[in-house]
């Protein structure tokens, strides 16, 4: 065996190294095998860089199919994963072996996200990184999974809009916000998610001229990957039918015809300003407490509960897979409660209409029977 090269290795160091080789041989260990393994490990490290593994993770896992043959991730979620793994905080890791990514390294990257004032975004980075490392462990690319902390504190929101605030938001949304205003109204009337409403397509809408008007959100666009049948109230249908159509565009809410409407942050800010200006005009001293678009979904759920809609019907409307019907019960109970959902959303729509018009709402009731 070659112990080393003259000049690069001192005599004392060479003798120590040779003695170690002799000791290994006596213990039945071939030092040449050890050296070969180290070389192969270095070669493997150079191949398994953070960048190369991230690309493979996106292509093999994120863009793959689930057990039902559907896309594992929604388009928006996939884009978010790609954006996070290519974020500036991870640029220094690109050529680094993923096996060297430890707790300290992870914390330094996440802390930098927190330090720029984005603690909640740091949690999103943490979640994606955790999935990548778990997948890498399953593939045998890393020998142990380093802990990935969540640096930002997230408080569970419980904000729901009051009856007066429902009217304020609705009226402001109808003033100058165009497509966004109609998205806000449908968020409130249907209780669905922002991405699902804003990405609504014309071919997802059925029987708009009938009492059983419905919107079928395909599994590829729903958060839980399950096709969702949303009943549409007459007021919701009226809003949808008022939307302008761009020739050959599949989207209900679009300005380009090629992609759904975006830029919600700026539009939400303008909506808040309209509400604030209206309060000033009416000489209301208090500003409207901060709210988010997702609060409209919670408001719809709480409002239907106030109308005595059973919890399992509300869960079905929200497309939740847990709640009242879960586990074994969910496997055997395949009833979609279409009539009950229609009645619930019609009752909720009437309730909202009463708040907008200033009428009393004590005449709105949910009828617990199937619609005909």
Tell which residue, 238, 237, 217, 239, has the closest CA to residue 228.
217
Mention every residue, 6+ apart, whose C-beta is less than 8 A from residue 214: 205, 206, 207, 229, 230, 231, 232, 338
For residue 191, the model assigns a pLDDT of: 96
Distance, in Å, from the CA atom of 21 to the CA atom of 15, rounded to the nearest integer, reads: 10
Over 60: is that where the pLDDT of 332 sits?
no
Would the pLDDT of 347 be above 70? yes
Helix (H) or strand (E) holding 43: helix 31-47
Per-residue pLDDT averaged across 171-191, rounded? 91
Could you tell me which of 127, 141, 122, 140 has the C-alpha nearest to residue 52?
Answer: 141
Nearest to 235 by CA among 199, 189, 169: 189
Angle between helices 338-357 and 163-173 (to 10 degrees): 80
pLDDT digits (tens, 9 = 90+) for 274-308: 999 999 988 887 888 999 999 999 999 999 999 99
Amino acid 154: pLDDT: 64
The three-state secondary structure class of 215 is: strand
Beta strands in 117-265 (DSSP E): 205-206, 214-217, 228-231
Across 21-35, 161-175, 204-218, 309-323, least confident range: 21-35
User: Is the model's pLDDT at 333 over the cut of 70?
Assistant: no
Check whether 5 has a pLDDT greater than 80: no
Q: How far apart are CA 104 and CA 101, in angstroms?
A: 8
Q: Is pLDDT of 46 > 80?
A: no
DSSP 234-261: HHHHHHHHTS---TT--BSS-SSSSS--
Which residues on neighbouring strands pair with residue 214, listed in sequence order? 206, 231
122-131, 168-177, 342-351: which has the minimum mean pLDDT? 168-177
Chain-wide mean pLDDT for the chain? 85
CA 222 vs CA 10, 77, 331: distances in Å = 67, 11, 19
Q: For 332-351, give one letter per residue: b (16+ CB within 10 A) or e.
A: eeeeebebbbbbbbbbbbbb
Q: Residue 32 — very low, low, confident or very high, per pLDDT cuts 50/70/90?
A: confident
Q: Spell out a b/e string for 295-330, using b for 16 or more CB atoms within 10 Å of the CB, else e.
A: bbbbbbbebbeebebbebbbbbbbbbeeeebeeeee
Residue in the block written with tokens 């109230």? 233
pLDDT of residue 328: 38
End-to-end Cα distance, the chain: 88
pTM summary value: 0.63
Share of the chain above pLDDT 70, in %: 87
Asked if 261 and 198 touch (Cβ cutoff 8 Å), the reply is yes
Distance CA 165, CA 171 (A): 10
H or E element, residue 197? helix 194-198
Confidence of residue 2 (pLDDT cuts 50, 70, 90): confident
Instruction: Identify which has the larger pLDDT, 336 or 201.
Output: 201
User: In the chain, what are the helix, strand and coil shares in percent, each to the nearest 5?
Assistant: 55, 5, 40
Label residue 327 by pLDDT band (50, 70, 90).
very low
In this structure, are residues 296 and 170 in contact, taking their beta carbons and an 8 Å threshold? no
Picking from 110-114, 201-205, 219-223, 294-298, which range would have the lowest pLDDT averaged per residue?
219-223
Question: What pLDDT sits at residue 105?
Answer: 92
Please give the full DSSP string across 54-122, using - where no structure is assigned: HHHIIIIIITSB-TTSSBSS-HHHHHHHHHHHTSGGGGGGTTSBGGG--HHHHHHHHHHHHHTT-HHHH
What percentage of the chain carries pLDDT values higher than 90?
49
Q: How far apart are CA 345 and CA 352, in angstroms?
A: 10
* Torsion sign (Cα): 124, 317, 166, 194: positive
Contact between residue 337 and residue 313 where contact means Cβ atoms under 8 Å apart: yes
pLDDT digits (tens, 9 = 90+) for 82-111: 999 999 899 989 989 998 899 999 999 999
Is residue 90 within 8 Å of 50, Cβ to Cβ?
yes
Is 134 within 8 Å of 147 (Cβ atoms)? no
């Amino acid at each position: 065996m070659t112990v080393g090269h003259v000049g690069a290795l001192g005599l004392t160091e060479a003798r120590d190294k040779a003695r170690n080789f002799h000791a290994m041989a006596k213990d039945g260990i071939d030092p040449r095998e050890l050296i070969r393994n180290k070389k192969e490990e270095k070669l493997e490290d150079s191949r398994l860089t953070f960048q190369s593994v991230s690309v493979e993770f996106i292509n093999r896992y994120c863009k793959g199919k689930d057990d039902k043959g559907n896309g594992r991730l929604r388009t928006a979620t996939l884009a978010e994963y790609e954006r996070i793994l290519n974020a500036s905080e991870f640029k220094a890791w690109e050529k680094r072996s993923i096996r060297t990514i430890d707790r300290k390294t992870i914390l330094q990257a996440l802390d930098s996200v927190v330090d720029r004032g984005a603690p909640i975004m740091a949690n999103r980075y943490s979640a994606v990184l955790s999935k990548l490392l778990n997948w890498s462990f399953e593939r045998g690319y890393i020998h142990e999974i380093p802990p990935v902390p969540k640096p930002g504190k997230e408080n569970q929101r419980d904000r729901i809009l009051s009856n007066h605030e429902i009217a304020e938001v609705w009226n402001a949304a109808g003033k100058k916000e165009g497509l966004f205003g109609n998205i806000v109204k449908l968020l409130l009337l249907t209780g669905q998610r922002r991405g699902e409403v804003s990405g609504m397509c014309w071919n997802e809408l059925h029987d708009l001229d009938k009492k059983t008007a419905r919107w079928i959100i395909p599994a590829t666009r729903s958060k839980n990957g399950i096709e969702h049948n949303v009943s549409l109230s007459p007021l919701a249908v009226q809003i949808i039918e008022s939307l302008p159509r761009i020739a050959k565009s599949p989207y209900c809410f679009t300005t380009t015809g090629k992609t759904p409407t975006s830029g919600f942050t700026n539009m939400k800010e303008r909506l808040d300003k309209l509400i604030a200006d209206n309060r000033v005009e009416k000489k209301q001293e208090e500003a409207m407490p901060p709210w988010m678009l997702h609060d409209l979904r919670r408001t719809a759920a709480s409002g239907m509960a106030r109308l005595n809609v059973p919890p399992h019907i509300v869960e079905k409307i929200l497309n939740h897979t847990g709640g009242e019907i879960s586990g074994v019960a969910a496997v055997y109970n395949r009833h979609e409660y279409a009539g009950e959902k229609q009645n619930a959303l019609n009752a909720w729509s009437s309730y909202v209409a009463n708040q907008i018009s200033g009428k009393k709402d004590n005449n709105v009731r949910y009828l617990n029977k199937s619609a005909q």
